[in-house]
Structure 1
Amino acid sequence: MGTTAVEKEIQTIKSISMTSLKNMFSVVVLAAIFAACQTGSRPEQTEMAIVPQPNEMTTLDGCFTVHSTTAFVVPDLPELKSAAGLINERFQQAAGFALEMTSEKPAKNFVALELDDLADFGEEGYELAVDENGVTIKASTARAGFYGLATMLQLLPPQIESQTLAANVDWVIPFVQIRDQPRFPWRGMHLDVCRHFVPVEFIKKQLDVMALFKMNTFHWHLTEDQGWRIDIKKYPKLTELGSIRTEGDGSEYGGYYTQDEIKEVVAYAAERFINVVPEIELPGHSLAALVGYPHLSCTGGPFQVRNVWGVEPDVYCAGKEETFHFLEDIINEVVPLFPYEYFHIGGDESPKDRWEECADCQKRIKAEGLKDEHELQSYFVQRIEKVLLAHDKKMVGWDEILEGGLAPSATVMSWRGEAGGIEAAKQGHDVVMTPGNWVYLDHYQGDSKVEPVAIGGYTTLEESYGYDPVPADLEGELAKHVLGTQGNVWSEYLYTPELFEYRIYPRIIALAEVGWTQKENKSYEDFLKRMDPQFVRLDFHDINYHIPLPEGPANHMAFIDEAKLAFTNTRSLKMVYTLDGSEPDQNALVYDSPLTFTENATVKIRSVLSTGTMSPVRTITVEKQELLPAVSVETSHTGLQGKYAEGVFIKVADLDSVEDWKTIQVNEKNLRTINNYQEPTGAILEGYFEIPEDGVYEFQTNFDQLFVGGRLLVNNDGEVKRYSRNNAQIALAQGTHPVKIIYLNNNIGGFPQSWNHFIVDYKKAGDEKFSQIKLENYSY
């Protein structure tokens, strides 16, 4: 992605420094808690703020206070000592003291972790009781004990998550009795680091937050068409060549993890009782591997690491034995790095084009008595399954592994809706439900016209929270095959670590509750209340979580007599605004009804959480205009005319240096020349179109620039032009108006401009739907 576009995306979602507001909120909460404990009443703010919601909880009057003298009673087991050490790190950093660990439980003033055989509570259930003597956590396993400690952390003031000393804090825990265990054993987050790479420290940060909310599975997507991210000693070209791609602007993008770094992450996760599942893609999504080892393809290459998103037709050749030897060698190196029992092989989006034309693959189909290329994929997957079984690993794959017959021991991740998971469960296979409509965290969670560019889709926090991983078709005995769910984070449009977090949070926390809490104990309204102190905890972890932006007007509004601007947001949060050009803060005007303007204005508006933390600012210019007069002109041709030049043009200004222009006329017959031209080009097109009646009109387009009546109206210069995010209004008189379009057929951020349709849309202000200005509507 070009530098300018990266900077623009970062600026769009840049975290607001709200330290003072965060501290103000925490002081208010603490004062309430302290006063409640002093009077013996129940501190509602703290006791109801556990996420995921415990399945059995009784609140009582009073609080226990943790002091530097409080004993930390921990059984003499390495895993429990390690878990207790993590808790003490929190106290040491935030409170300035660590609790003294002991195996002897005093009569009072203790935090005691006890191993106990809790019948029917499984490996992850625990009991927690807080009274005047202290905190007692009972669990049958170290993992369950850790979850009890995680609940205790959430009962403490949010400052327990502070990385620095928090002054004037009483470390109080309300009296409560909890019996709790998860609904599902698989509560995970998937992370694609191939399209965009993140460093080890970023992953550790996410693991810390996952542990806080009792998530137990980290699905690490390590290989793709756009980058190979894991060091394989036997095949060094996988990272020497496959980890680096040349972007559309000519820059290089790369990164990979050494095996020592992989071990470091896995060990860090294990300390937090998080299992790490590697994903090594096959037979598709394998182009990055084929760059260094092209003989394993059907065509022999040569290849380049894919620098655009989408599905790549070149895949591993299923007809060559060398392919399977190669993959077995890779598995032999990867398996020792990941002790967890599951191993993900991808198996999705593997086109059959090359196999259909490959003599080796057709020979394999005939020799094995296979019906077609779909059964060839099943053959491929089942051969890999045998390799994994020899390593005592359970194979996981996306639901395409159902094609041609499911491997006997496979677990299916159902992502194309729920049908694949339902079918697999009915065949007796375990499934992890990951359908895009609910758990794809790369989707928009707000209006695409105001949010940073995304792959598409629309999944709100409420929709993620409302997901039930057990479809109606799998109720009863079949429900036992549903292991759980996970949030999937595909990184095509996640250009920075901040954007990763902006998409992930808080929806992943909603899914943590989906995985843990029984349906009858869930409430979205209550979840939102319980999230208030959790946002403060996320602040202490420096998480750039999403706060819904004000939606409604375009960034550039026009009016003739009067303009009314109405704003909403996806969680009905408070909104504050200014009209004097200043940044809105806690003292700004509160939006409570549409704003009316009769003169030019600049509106700056943002949403506000109850904690005081604010969303990024939206700036809307409101301009009073007279109707732009139509022009009198005679045209004789349909379409547009202009000039174009071959070459890589990332910004409109790059066209200034062009000397070799070629003329072009664009109509339906030669549209492909300009719209889907395979070589990079830049074009300036001009013509006229008709406005049906006087009025204010809003325009949207993914062209780089759109001029109407000589005015630059829509400017997407340097951005990823996946969706129009720069809509603008203009007042136009009925009749003919000149239009100019600047179109750069480039690749910014992995999205080629040629993938867009040749479209400009417009609508009259107040109308709901846009109309397309088709090529036959233009003339010159």
Structure 2
Amino acid sequence: MKKAVLYFMAVALIMSCNSTKKTGSDPFAPLTLEWSFLGNDPGNRQYSAAFELSNKGDETLGESGWAIYLSQMGHGIVEGSESVALEIVHVNGDLLRISPRAGFSLPPGERVRLEYLTPLSLLKESQAPMGPYLVCTEQDQEKVMPISDYRILPFPELEKIFPSGSGMPLPDAAWVFGQNEGWSGPLPGEDIRIVPQVVESHFKDGSLLLDEGLSIYHESSLFQEAVYLADILKSIFGKAFPLQEGSETGPGVISLQTGGKLKKGGEGYQLLIDETEGIKIIGEGAAGVFYGIQTMLSLIPVEAWKASVSSLDLPLVQINDAPAFPYRGMHLDIARNFIPVQDIKRLIQVMAFYKLNTLHLHLTDDEGWRIEIPSLPELTDVGAYRGHSADEANYLIPAYGSGPLARRDANHGNGYITAEEYKELLSFAADRHVEIIPEINFPGHARAAIKAMEHRFRRLMEEGKEEEAWRYRLIDTEDASVYNSAQNFNDNVVCVSLDGPYNLFSTVLETLMALHAEAGVHLRTIHTGGDEVPHGVWTASPSCAEFLAAHPEIEGYENLQPYFEGRIHEIIRSKGLNMGGWEEIAMMKDETGKWVPNPAFAGKGVLPYIWNSIGRFSDLGNRLANAGYPVILCNVKNFYFDLAYSHHPAEPGLYWGGFVNTKRAFELAPYHMCLNEKGRELLKEESRDNIAGLQAQLWSETVKGGKMAEYYYLPKLLGFAERAWHGEAAWGGLADEKNRSASFERDWAGFARALGGREMPRLDGLFGGYNYRLPPPGALIKDGKLHANIAFPGLEIRYTTDGSQPGPSSPLYTAPVELPEGTTALALRSFDTRGRGSRTSRVGL
């Protein structure tokens, strides 16, 4: 109700702006805004861009009383580079403000072009400014209106984005063609490459017929697994199959049993598909049976996933399989931009199908608090909403283009998971053997919590409840520290010398434990974030100064974070849980100022997640594992799925850590990171067991909804699943670079063929079909012929010779094409079995 009242107040203000009597300074006449990217200047490490503002009204837009706000990630504006009397300033986070300077005037019917410079470079269309809106101030009241007529102009030619000196090749069709060329020799003669690859398989000639007479027998303890299997088969055959307790076998029977000694946490299994015994799945535990079911389902012909069938054939095979790592995770950020529960469930479904078992749910950050804590309603009443606000008293400022309206259905910046939804999600995941690890991010990335608790503080102080108000206060209001976080916030870190952060964390943790218990799912690990605490925090905080004076053993401001992590660790361990966090939680500065593993937490239930694999930190996972920590490898260069598939401007995503495609996820060698890198610490043989698992990450700054999330994580997730389940490939430890490269390319070629031929067509129908990314074809002209290729052989390539966009019925490319007379331009796209097409590749003549 509170949010509804605030929304209608905002609508009333907007309507009043539209109906205000026109004056010479009224900016709410019709306005249009355009933005254009002009090109990169690598020599000066900057790029140029321009806004163009048009006054379509009948009054002059003057030098005061109005401003335009918008979101754009980046590094601010080159000071003084604005070409006209308009100023672009950084507000906080990614929010910018354009406001007039003295003497500005835009008469009716005229346009003004504001050119400016920004540090570094811009490569992506998805980096353009987003969510612009107008604010006018009249008699100390702000009036707000979104700018609906906003256009991002087409980017310039590739040569302006990647000029000489940029160090990057043009990402044109010829470059893609070269990237797709790899192993050209023979591939293994395997009947079917199962993804993820199994430990051992023996295929035989022949097949087993499954039809509508099928029955499913199961041990009593495997009822949930049997129900899961029956539901999947119902979606394929269009009818329900009977479930019966027992151990019957036979040609028309699927038998689910457990047996053998428990290994790999009970996740190993044997699968037999036989003419006389039917289908037998024997797992070391219920999880093993579940993964045996996934392997059996992966052998179903891909056509059966799109339309109901009355019968199908499965190949005869015997498989022995078990995972390489006990932890096979996927991280999903729903804090930066909210992703609804139904889309999280779709991720869980495909994770389970490819044998991943952990969902790390990033619930809180600077830009949003996304989990309901009933005893602290402000966390979601305030922290789950973004909109224009002069003081952020009732909600957060806009971010990532969320615009001015703090309304749940207005954009992806607003929303949260209720307590009931969270419990239902826990059960849904547990039924698929996926554990959910919630993350509550402290001490940095805490801005949403800070603003929410300030709202609570003011309310309780007004009510005269001072002690209660201070209980959860997170900041020292006299702190004059100057810092800038990774996301350009200057106020996103809690004060670690106050009791409020520890009280809040404890209350939130107790609530999460209760929700897990009510769902019948034990909470074993809480992730605490702990990353990217910016340099300079706490250094001008009177509270921290007083605290350090009383505790000289902490030895300075730089060790306040290890102190904080120690107290959080005590809270977590007192409740019998393990503490997860990004690698910073397990690091400290030694007496020389070097960043080293902190021995205080090794062997004490602390699980570092290692994301930084860049430059001198490429061996960080090895160093912490060698120091005795169990670690989760989350390498940014391989497993950050929000990084763009390529550097083409039309490919969405970030690129601060490079570019990550399916091949990059596939190529990690967990036990041989930094092999042949000078000066890097290698993993000791005795430390291999400390590699507890792997995790992929999807951060949501550029992700707007579930469909877009699917584009980002598929098919990358399949390359990741290969490494997480099957483990390091044989080529991973080859020291000779030439041999390693040849062996890797051969393995990748077989994997890519499996994805294009089976996995991606299956994803067209699996669980209703996924919005996976289709790779654009590579193409070039050679000897007067069009040559084309694709990253995943098996996908269709269609083309046109007049430059028009190819469709599902355009000519099919099967071999080099002799160009007909009159060819004016070439365009190509890849297509899936549903007729969805990729981005268009164009070839100049």
Into which bin does the TM-score normalised by the smaller protein fall?
Answer: 0.5 to 0.7
1:230-285 deviations in Å (ceiling 9; x for gaps):
11122211111111112354344310000111111111000000011100000000
Say whether residues 1:537 and 2:678 are aligned partners.
no
- Identify which of 100, 103, 116 aligns with 2:259: 116
Say whether residues 1:474 and 2:474 are aligned partners.
no
Q: What is the CA–CA distance in structure 2 between the aligned matches of 1:139 and 1:5, rounded to whole Å?
A: 59
In the alignment, residue 616 of structure 1 is paired with which amino acid? Answer: S
- Identify which of 305, 308, 313 aligns with 1:166: 308
CA shift at 1:317, angstroms?
0.5
In the alignment, residue 829 of structure 2 is paired with which amino acid? Answer: R
- Identify which of 524, 527, 537 aligns with 2:748: 524
CA contact (8 A) 2:479 2:538 kept: no
How has the CA–CA distance of structure 1 residues 5 and 325 changed in structure 2, closer, same or farther, with 3 Å as cutoff? farther
Partner secondary structure for residue 151 of structure 1: helix
How has the CA–CA distance of structure 1 residues 308 and 387 changed in structure 2, closer, same or farther, with 3 Å as cutoff? closer
Partner secondary structure for residue 293 of structure 1: helix
CA shift at 1:529, angstroms?
2.5
- Give the number of equivalent residue pairs: 571
CA contact (8 A) 1:161 1:537 kept: yes
Q: What is the CA–CA distance in structure 2 between the aligned matches of 1:159 and 1:365, rounded to whole Å?
A: 67
CA contact (8 A) 1:90 1:161 kept: no
- Identify which of 793, 799, 812 aligns with 1:577: 799
1:503-525 deviations in Å (ceiling 9; x for gaps):
10111111111011143478222
Query: What is the TM-score normalised by the length of structure 1?
Result: 0.68
How has the CA–CA distance of structure 1 residues 354 and 324 changed in structure 2, closer, same or farther, with 3 Å as cutoff? same
How has the CA–CA distance of structure 1 residues 292 and 140 changed in structure 2, closer, same or farther, with 3 Å as cutoff? same
- Identify which of 477, 498, 520 aligns with 1:299: 477
CA contact (8 A) 2:283 2:289 kept: yes
CA contact (8 A) 1:313 1:352 kept: no
Say whether residues 1:51 and 2:206 are aligned partners.
no
For 1:483, the equivalent position in structure 2 comes to: 692
1:88-108 deviations in Å (ceiling 9; x for gaps):
011222202222222234452
CA shift at 1:463, angstroms?
1.5
For 1:281, the equivalent position in structure 2 comes to: 441
How has the CA–CA distance of structure 1 residues 571 and 367 changed in structure 2, closer, same or farther, with 3 Å as cutoff? farther
CA shift at 1:229, angstroms?
0.3
In the alignment, residue 96 of structure 1 is paired with which amino acid? Answer: G
Aligned Cα root-mean-square deviation (Å)? 3.3
Q: What is the CA–CA distance in structure 1 between the aligned matches of 2:492 and 2:265, rounded to whole Å?
A: 46
Q: Following superposition of structure 1 onto structure 2, how do residues 100-115 of structure 1 map, counting pairs within 5 Å? A: 100-106=242-248, 108=250, 109-115=252-258
Q: What is the CA–CA distance in structure 1 between the aligned matches of 2:692 and 2:150, rounded to whole Å?
A: 38
- Identify which of 325, 334, 345 aligns with 1:204: 345
In the alignment, residue 514 of structure 1 is paired with which amino acid? Answer: R
How has the CA–CA distance of structure 1 residues 486 and 121 changed in structure 2, closer, same or farther, with 3 Å as cutoff? closer
How has the CA–CA distance of structure 1 residues 415 and 71 changed in structure 2, closer, same or farther, with 3 Å as cutoff? same
Q: What is the CA–CA distance in structure 2 between the aligned matches of 1:8 and 1:145, rounded to whole Å?
A: 52
Q: What is the CA–CA distance in structure 1 between the aligned matches of 2:381 and 2:476, rounded to whole Å?
A: 22
How has the CA–CA distance of structure 1 residues 453 and 217 changed in structure 2, closer, same or farther, with 3 Å as cutoff? closer
For 2:542, the equivalent position in structure 1 comes to: 359
For 1:447, the equivalent position in structure 2 comes to: 647
Say whether residues 1:421 and 2:617 are aligned partners.
no
In the alignment, residue 605 of structure 1 is paired with which amino acid? Answer: L
Query: What is the TM-score normalised by the length of structure 2?
Result: 0.63
1:535-562 deviations in Å (ceiling 9; x for gaps):
1221113211111124689xxxxxxxxx
Instruction: Name the % identity.
Output: 28
In the alignment, residue 269 of structure 1 is paired with which amino acid? Answer: A
Q: What is the CA–CA distance in structure 1 between the aligned matches of 2:189 and 2:253, rounded to whole Å?
A: 24
CA shift at 1:571, angstroms?
5.2
- Identify which of 600, 606, 609 aligns with 1:410: 606
Q: Following superposition of structure 1 onto structure 2, how do residues 194-343 of structure 1 map, counting pairs within 5 Å? A: 194-246=335-387, 247=398, 249-252=403-406, 253-294=413-454, 295-299=473-477, 309-310=487-488, 312-338=490-516, 339-343=522-526
CA shift at 1:591, angstroms?
8.7
1:114-167 deviations in Å (ceiling 9; x for gaps):
1112465641100111111201111121111111111111112235545xx614
1:637-689 deviations in Å (ceiling 9; x for gaps):
xxxxxxxxxxxxxxxxxxxxxxxxxxxxxxxxxxxxxxxxxxxxxxxxxxxxx
CA contact (8 A) 1:470 1:479 kept: yes
How has the CA–CA distance of structure 1 residues 224 and 595 changed in structure 2, closer, same or farther, with 3 Å as cutoff? farther
For 1:508, the equivalent position in structure 2 comes to: 717
Greater Cα shift, 372-381 or 179-188: 372-381
Q: What is the CA–CA distance in structure 1 between the aligned matches of 2:490 and 2:819, rounded to whole Å?
A: 51
CA shift at 1:365, angstroms?
2.4
For 1:464, the equivalent position in structure 2 comes to: 665
CA shift at 1:363, angstroms?
2.2
Structure 2: segments with no counterpart, 5+ residues? 1-129, 132-146, 154-187, 388-397, 407-412, 455-472, 517-521, 589-597, 674-681, 732-746
CA shift at 1:47, angstroms?
5.2
CA contact (8 A) 2:808 2:837 kept: no
1:164-215 deviations in Å (ceiling 9; x for gaps):
x614x52222110011000001111100011111111111111111111111
CA contact (8 A) 1:297 1:314 kept: no
Q: What is the CA–CA distance in structure 1 between the aligned matches of 2:579 and 2:429, rounded to whole Å?
A: 21
Say whether residues 1:85 and 2:227 are aligned partners.
yes
Q: What is the CA–CA distance in structure 1 between the aligned matches of 2:197 and 2:488, rounded to whole Å?
A: 38
How has the CA–CA distance of structure 1 residues 62 and 622 changed in structure 2, closer, same or farther, with 3 Å as cutoff? closer
Q: What is the CA–CA distance in structure 2 between the aligned matches of 1:5 and 1:393, rounded to whole Å?
A: 52
Q: What is the CA–CA distance in structure 2 between the aligned matches of 1:612 and 1:233, rounded to whole Å?
A: 44
In the alignment, residue 717 of structure 2 is paired with which amino acid? Answer: I
Say whether residues 1:377 and 2:569 are aligned partners.
no
For 2:813, the equivalent position in structure 1 comes to: 590
For 1:131, the equivalent position in structure 2 comes to: 274
In the alignment, residue 414 of structure 1 is paired with which amino acid? Answer: I
- Identify which of 289, 301, 324 aligns with 1:157: 301
CA shift at 1:310, angstroms?
4.5
In the alignment, residue 837 of structure 2 is paired with which amino acid? Answer: S
Structure 1: segments with no counterpart, 5+ residues? 10-43, 554-562, 624-780
How has the CA–CA distance of structure 1 residues 442 and 119 changed in structure 2, closer, same or farther, with 3 Å as cutoff? closer
How has the CA–CA distance of structure 1 residues 564 and 377 changed in structure 2, closer, same or farther, with 3 Å as cutoff? farther
CA shift at 1:68, angstroms?
2.7
Partner secondary structure for residue 203 of structure 2: strand
For 1:665, the equivalent position in structure 2 comes to: none
